[in-house]
Structure 1
Amino acid sequence: MFAKSHLALALVLGCAGPAFAHSGLAAKKYLNLPLGAIKPSGWLLDQLNVQMSGLWGHEHEFYHYVSQTDWLGGDSYYSNLEEAGSYWFNAMVPAAVLVDSAEVQSQTQYFLDFVLDNQDETGWLGPEVFNSSKPRFLWARYPYLFGAMQLVEYNNTLADRVIPAVYKFVTLANSMMKNGAGLEDWTRTRWEDFVIALQWLYDFYLNGNEDLLIETMQLLKWTGDPWEDVFATENFPTTAVENLRNPFPVLTWHGVNMAEGLKALPSTYRFTHNQSDLDRASEGWDALFQYHGRPSGIFAADEYLAGLGAIRGTELCLVVETMFSGSYLFQVSGDLKYADRVERITYNALPATLTGDMWSRQYLQEQNQIAAQNMDPNPFPNDGPYSNVFGLEPNYPCCTVNHGQGFPKFVTNSFVKTNDDASLVQVYLGPVAVHTVLAGDNTVSVDVDTLYPFSDAVNVVVSATKEFTYLVRIPSWVSGATVSVNGGATNGIQADNSGLAAIDLPAGNSTLSLNLPSEITIENRPNNSVAIHRGPLNYAFDIPRNQTVLAQNANESRAVDLQFEVTAPWQYAIDPTTLKFNAGTPQGGQLPSPIFDSGLPPLSIDATGCLIEWAVAGDTFASDPPQNPSCIGNTTTIKLIPLGATKLRISEFPVFDSANV
C-alpha cells in the first residue's frame, strides 16, 4: 500500500525519490478532433435528438440541482459547482453542439460565464456553496474544466478569457495540495480528471507553464489514491467486495471511481513515460471485466464492485464514465480492446438503463431483471430498494445530471487522427459526418452512412484535397470483412497488428463499401448459464410488462417514476445449438424512433426454449440461473432482441438439450 506521507510528497517535489521525465509529455497514440468536427447523422442523430427531447434536454428547465434559478443559492452539496452543475456542464456542452441547439448552447455559455464571473481573487472557481461551512474540495471543479475545454475547442475565441482563469485556478490548486488542502476522499480517487485537463493545457496552451503543469500533475498522482497498486493482480478483488477488506482507501472499489480511475495510469504515462503504467492499466482493465464483467459490455458495481451475479447492479454513472475512460485508454495506448468494449457498452448497457423516450432512467440495471420496482428484499447491499425503478432520481441524483455525456462523447470520440496528423481513423462504427484538416493542409470530409449495429453494411464517402491513408477499426467480432472502393471489386480487408485496416485514398472523392459480418457467439456465464451475442449486440428475452406511474415531478409532467412488472412467464432455458439470426428489413431503409425500445430493432435471434422451475426472491428479482434445469412444458421458439431495447429481461440463460426433451 502506498503511504501518503509528507515524506512521500517531499520526494515528489524534488528532494529525492521517484524519477520523472521532464522532457515534455509522451505523445498519445491518437489525437482527438475538436468538438464540432464530428457530427452524428442518421439513426445516431435521431438518438441524440431523442435524448435532447427527453429528460436530458429539459432538466435544466425544472430540476432543482441544475436549474438556473438555483445556481445563485442553496447549501446542498450538489448545488452550484459542488457536483451537479459541473457534471451537467461537462455533458451538456457536447450534446448541445451535436444537435445544433442554439438555445441550449446559450445555457452552457451562461454557465461558463457564471462560474468565471464568480472566480475569486485567489483563483477559486466560484461560486462558493452559500450558507455553508463546507471546506473547498477540488474534485467537483474537474468536470467543469472538461466542459470549458470542449467549449474552447468549439469556439477558440473563448480562449482569451478561459485559459487565464484556468491557470489561476491551477496555481491555487498547486498551492492547496502542497499545504494538504482540498483533498477529501473523492478528490483523492478522481485526481486523473485534473491531470487530463492539465495535459490539454500543456498540449494546446502551454504559455511557458511547463514546470507548473508537470509539478501539479505529480502532486495529483502522489496525493491521490494509488491506482497502480489497486489494479495489480495480487490486490484486485475477484468476487463481490461487500465482505472483503480493501487494503487501499475504500472508495477505490466504488464503481464510478473505478470507472474514472481507469484513466489514471494512461494519464500518468504521459508524464512518467513509463510503459509499466500502460501495462498495469491493461492488466486492471482485463481483471475488472474478468471478475465483474457483464455480457452488456459493462461491469457490475451496486455502489461497490459486485462480482458476476446476473441480478447484481450496475450504476448508470459507471456506464458513461467507463465509456469515456475506454476512449481515452485507446487514444493513449492504441489498444483496440478498449474501443471494442466501449462500442459494446454504448449499444447495450447505456440504452438498457433508460426508457426508450429517455425521460426516465435507472440508478442500477441488472443483466437478469424481472421487475423495476421498490424491492423487498433488496439484492443490492449498498444501495436502496428503489435503485432499479426508472425515474427522475432513483436512489441518488448523480446519474440524472451525468448520464447525458454517454452518447455525445461516443460521437466525439468516434474518429481520431494519428499523432503525426497525417491519417484519419474511424474508431467507432455508426452514422457520423466528419470535417477536419490533416497535415499539409489536407482538408478531409467523411460521411458514414450506416444502420450499424443494426446492419453489417457501412458506406463511407470521403472527400480529400490530397491523398492520404484512411484507417478503420475492424472489430474483434467481425469475420470475413470486405471492402469495395469506388464500386470496384469486393475484396477481403485485413486489419494489421493494431486492429486497424489501412486504405490508401487519392485526392478527390472516394466511396468505400464495407461489409462487417459476424457470427452468433455464446458466452459462458456463472451457474452453467450462457449469454448470446452477434456483432456488438448482446441479445436478451424481452419480458412483457405493464407500467405504473409511481411519481410525477410537480414542475414537469413528463418526468415520471415508472414501475415495471412482468405480465408473462420469463423462466426460460434455451438450447444454444438452435440459435437462428434474423436480419430483418427496416421499413423504407430507416430505423424506427426511438430505436432502443421493445419490438423496434429489426434484428432478432430465435432460440428453442422451454419453461423451467426458476425461483424468485421476494417477487422482485430472480435467483441464480438453475444449473441443470428440466422442462416443465413443451419446447417453444422464443425471440431474443438487442438488450438495449429491453427494460425487463433475461440475458443469462440456463441451458438444456432440446433433443432429449
Structure 2
Amino acid sequence: MARALLLSLLASSVGVLYAQTASGLAPKKYLYLPLGSVKASGWVHDQLIVQTNGLAGHEHEFYDYVAQSDWIGGDSDYSELEEAGVYWFNGMVPHGVLTNDANLKAQTQQFLDYVIDHQDETGWFGPEVNTTKPRFLWARYPFMFGAINIAEYDPSQTTKIVTAMYKFVQLANTMLKNGEGLGDGGWAKTRWEDFVISLQWLYDNHPNGSEDLLLETMKLLKWTGDPWEDVFSEEYFPKEATENLDCPFDVLTWHGVNMAEGLKALPATYRFTHNESDLVRASEGWDLLFQYHGRPSGIYAADEYLAGLEAIRGTELCLVVETMFSGTYLYQVIGDLKYADRVERITYNALPATLTGDMWSRQYLQQQNQIAAKNMTPNPFATDGPYSNVFGLEPNYPCCTVNHPQGWPKFVANSFVTTPDQQSLVHVYLGPFGANTTLANDNAVTVNVDTLYPFGDSLTTTITASKPFIYYVRIPSWVTKGTITMDGAEAQDVSPENGLQAVPVQAGTTKFTLDLPLDITTESRPHGSIAVHRGPLHYAFDISRNTTVLTRNAQQPLAADVQFDATEAWQYAIDPKTLTFNNNPPSSGSLPSPIFDSGLPPFTITATACQINWTVAGDEFASSPPQNPTCVGAAKNITLWPFGSTKLRIGEFPVVDLSSL
C-alpha cells in the first residue's frame, strides 16, 4: 500500500510538471502511411515471398509457442509462451498484408478475434484471463502494435479494436497507480515506450474525449519506467563490453533488445513533454551506442548485454529488427538523416546475414568475423550459450524465431511517409517500392520505383498525381556524385536539404531517374583493422563452408539446426589501395532468388591480399585481427561479397602494404 501511494503521488507530481510545460502531443516530423498503402516490388517483394515460404510463414503450423490454441488461458508458466504469440502477431500482420497472403491474414485475424473476444470484464487480455497468474503489462504492447496495423488496413475493424484498447488502457492506468503490472523481471519497466506509442496512436486518431486519460497514462508509464534520459547520457553510458561493469540502473537497460526498444523512449516522451532536451538526448544516446558498440553491418553488439567493439562478439536477431523499427520511429519524429541511413544499412546487411538464404534457419547471435557456426567451445559470448551462432529453429532462446518476421515488412511499410500537412510524399528507404495514397486536397498519388538498389546504382520513379505537389526522395549521406534526370531532360546534380531532394510533380505523370554512383570507403576498426563499404552495403570475405545437419523438427523437417564449418583459409590481410568494385548485372534484369546467399549478389569488391598468421580459439572463433601482420604467403586476389549474403565471413580485416610485392 505504501508503494502504491508513493507511485500515485509521484505520478500526480510529474503530471503537474508536464502540464505546466506542455499540452497535447507535439507533432511528428513525418507521418507514416496506413498499412497497405506501400508495397514492395522486384527483389524486395521476393524477399517477402522467401520469408513466407520459410520459417516465418510456416511456424504457426508447427511451432509450439505460436501454434498454441490456448494462448489465452494456457497453463504454461514459461514467459516465452506469452511473449511468442504477440511477437509473431506483430510481425505477421504487416507481412500478410504486404504479400496479400490469404492464409497468413486468416491466421492473424483469428489471433486478433480470439484475444479481443476473450478480453475479460476488467479490460485485461492475455493468457492470464480466468487464471490466478499475476498480470504483467509488457506482452500486451506488441499485440497492440499488430491490432493498430489491422485497424489501419481494414477500417471496418477499427471500432472493436479501439474499444478493446480503451478498456485495457483504463485498467492499465489503475494498475500503474497501484504499482501493479511491472514486476515481470524488468521488461515492462524498460519497454514502456511501446505502450506510450500505442497510446499516442489513440490520441492522434481516436481520442474519443479521453485525451486526459491517455496523457496521464503516458506520464505514469514514463514515471514508473526506467530513465532512458539517464541511461543514454555521456556520464553513465557504458563505453566497453558490460560484463565487468556495474550498471547504475536496472541491469536490463544494458540488455541489447531492451536498448533497441529504448531508443524510441525519448522521442516518444518528447511528444507529451515538448522538451527539446528529450530529442537532444535521444540523438546523443544513438551516437554513443554506435560509437562504442557499433558494427560495420550497421547494427551494434550485445550478446545479451552490450558487448563493445570486438569482431567476434555477438548481435541478437531480435535486436536487429527492433533497432530497425526504433530507427524508423526516430526518423519520423525527428527527421535526422542519420536514423534513416542506419536503418537502411542494417536492413541490407545485418538482417539477412543472420538468416539462411531460404530463411528456414536463423541465428540467435551473428558475428562480424564468423569462421564457424557451431556449438562453441570455448564460448566467446559473455552471457549467451555456446549454441548461439548455430543456424536453426531456436538456438539459445526462441524469441527471435517469432520476432524476426517484423524486419522486412515494417521496413517496406515505412519506406514512404508524408509531411505533417500531408501535402507532400517522402520516399525514405531506397529500393523497389511503390505507394498509393491520397494526399491533402484529394490529391490521388501513385508512385512506382523501378530499381535493383542497393544492387544497382539507379532508381527510376514514375509518379501519377491528380494535382501538383512537391515530392521528396532521401539522398543518403554516402552519395557524393548523384544526379537526377527529369522526364528525359539533361541530368542535374542532386541538391538535397536535410537529406531530401525536392522533386516538383505536375498533375498527370512525372518520371525521373536518380543515378547514385558510389565510392568504395573503408572504416577504421579495433586493432588497426578496417571494414569495407560501398554505399549502404558492407563487404566481407565469404568463407566457403560445408553444412552438417544437427537436428530437424519432427513436424517440419525444413526447420533444421545446421552447423557451418570453413572449408578454406580465411586468415587474410588486405591492401586497401587495391580495392576494386565489380558489377556483374543479371542478364535477365532481375536478381536471383533468394539474393542473400553465397555467390548470388551482382556486386563484388576484389582486393589484393596475403595470408598471415592469425590465431584461433580452438576451431571456433578468430582472435582479434593482428596488427602490422607479415605475409606468410604470396599475394593473391580475393573477392569480397555483400555482408548479408555471407554466413561465414571476415568483415574486419588486418591491413598490409603489398605495393612492393
Deviations 1:29-49 (A, max 9, x none): 000100000011011000000
How far does residue 387 in structure 1 lie from its aligned partner after superposition? 0.1
Q: Which residue of 1 aligns with 2:169?
A: 170
Counterpart-to-counterpart distance in 2, 1:191 and 1:37: 28
Distance 1:587 1:78, change over 3 A: farther
Q: Distance in 2 between matches of 1:655 and 1:126?
A: 54
Aligned to 2:440: 439
Counterpart check, 1:143 vs 2:174: no
Deviation for aligned residue 1:618: 1.8
Whole-Å separation in 2 of the counterparts to 1:102 and 1:15:
47
Aligned residues of 1:336 and 1:499 also touching (Cα < 8 A): yes
Please list the CA deviations of residues 69-96 of structure 1 after superposition, one character each: whole Å capped at 9, or x if unmatched.
353634142465x200010000000000
d(CA) in 2 for partners of 1:237 and 1:548?
A: 38
> Is the 1:447–1:462 contact (alpha carbons within 8 Å) kept by the matching residues of 2?
yes
Q: For residues 310 and 4 of structure 2, what CA distance do their matches in structure 1 show? A: 39
CA distance in 2, matches of 1:378, 1:115: 41
Output the amino acid matched with 1:38.
Answer: V
The alpha carbon displacement at 1:603 in A equals 0.3
2:194 aligned partner = 193
Within 5 Å, give how 1:15-414 maps onto structure 2.
18-20=17-19, 21-71=21-71, 73-78=74-79, 82-128=82-128, 134-184=133-183, 185-414=186-415
Q: Is the 8 A contact 1:46 1:593 kept in 2?
A: yes
- TM-score normalized by the length of structure 2: 0.97
In 2, the alpha carbon distance for the partners of 1:376 and 1:328 equals 39
What SS does the aligned partner of 1:577 have? helix
Taking the aligned partners of 2:605 and 2:448, their CA distance within structure 1 comes to 30
Q: CA deviation at 1:628?
A: 1.1
Shift in Å at residue 241 of structure 1? 0.3
Aligned position for 2:643: 643
Q: Secondary structure at the match of 2:162?
A: helix
- State the shift of 1:14 in Å: 4.2
Which residue identity lines up with residue 176 of structure 1 in the other structure? M
1:25–1:658: structure 2 CA closer, same or farther, 3 Å change rule? same
* Contact 2:4–2:177 (CA under 8 A) maintained in structure 1: no
AA partner of residue 601 (structure 2): P
Residue pair 1:289, 1:298 contacting (<8 A) in 2 also: yes
Deviation at 1:251, TM superposition (A): 0.1
Structure-2 change in CA distance of 1:218 and 1:589 (3 Å): same
3-state SS in 1 of match to 2:65: coil
Aligned amino acid, residue 529 of structure 2: S
User: Per-residue displacement from partner, 1:336-380 (whole Å, max 9, x unpaired)?
Assistant: 100000000000000000000000000000000000000000000
CA deviation after TM superposition for structure 1 residue 16, in Å: 7.9
Matched AA of 2:143: Y
- Aligned equivalents of 1:126, 1:371: Cα separation in 2: 40
Q: What is the TM-score normalised by the length of structure 1?
A: 0.97
Are the equivalent residues in 2 in contact too, given 1:77–1:83 (CA < 8 A)? no
Letter in 1 for 2:634: N
Partner residue in 2 for 1:540: 540
Structure 2 unaligned spans of 5+: none
- What amino acid does structure 1 have at the position aligned with 2:207? L
Alpha-carbon separation, structure 1, partners of 2:585 and 2:352: 22
Q: CA deviation digits over 1:136-177, x for unaligned, max 9?
A: 000000000000000000001101211111100000000000
**How far has the Cα of 1:499 moved from its partner?**
1.1
The residue type equivalent to 2:642 in the other structure is P
* Superposed counterparts of 1:453-492, under 5 Å: 453-492=454-493
Q: Displacement of 1:9 after TM fit?
A: 4.8
Q: Is the 8 A contact 2:49 2:99 kept in 1?
A: yes
Shift in Å, 1:68:
4.5
1:560 correspondence with 2:528: no
Whole-angstrom CA distance in 1 between matches of 2:394 and 2:80: 15
Q: Distance in 1 between the 2:18 and 2:128 partners?
A: 37
Residue 127 of structure 1 deviates from its aligned partner by: 3.4
Describe the SS at the equivalent of 1:549.
Answer: strand
Aligned-partner Cα distance in 2 for 1:37–1:10 = 44
* Paired residue secondary structure (1:61): helix
CA contact (8 A) 2:449 2:459 kept: yes
Secondary structure of residue in 2 paired with 1:472: strand
Q: CA deviation at 1:256?
A: 0.1
Over the aligned positions, Cα root-mean-square deviation in angstroms equals 1.3
Structure 2: distance between partners of 1:38 and 1:474 = 19
In the TM superposition, what are the counterparts of 1:3-14 in structure 2 within 5 Å?
A: 7=6, 9-14=8-13
Provide Cα deviations, 1:224-275, integer angstroms capped at 9, x if missing partner: 0000000001110100000000000000000000000000000000000000
Q: What secondary structure does 2:309 align onto?
A: coil
Alignment pair present for 1:624 and 2:624: yes
Name the count of aligned residue pairs: 655
Identify unmatched segments of 5+ residues in structure 1: none
- SS of corresponding position for 1:69: coil
Shift of 1:19: 3.0
AA matched with 2:135 = R
Q: How far apart in 2 are the matches of 1:11 and 1:410? A: 38
What is the alpha-carbon distance in structure 2 between the residues aligned to residue 508 and residue 292 of structure 1? 48
The alignment-based identity, stated in percent, is 66
C-alpha displacement of 1:12:
3.1
Displacement after TM superposition at 1:462 (Å) = 0.2
Q: Which amino acid aligns with 1:157?
A: S
Spell out, residue by residue over 1:537-575, the C-alpha distance to the aligned partner (whole angstroms, 9 max, x if none): 000000010000000000001000000000000000000
User: Which amino acid in structure 1 is aligned with residue 125 of structure 2?
Assistant: L
Runs (4 or more) in structure 1 with deviation over 2 Å come to 4-9, 14-23, 68-74, 76-80
* Contact 1:522/1:530, CA 8 A, preserved across alignment: yes
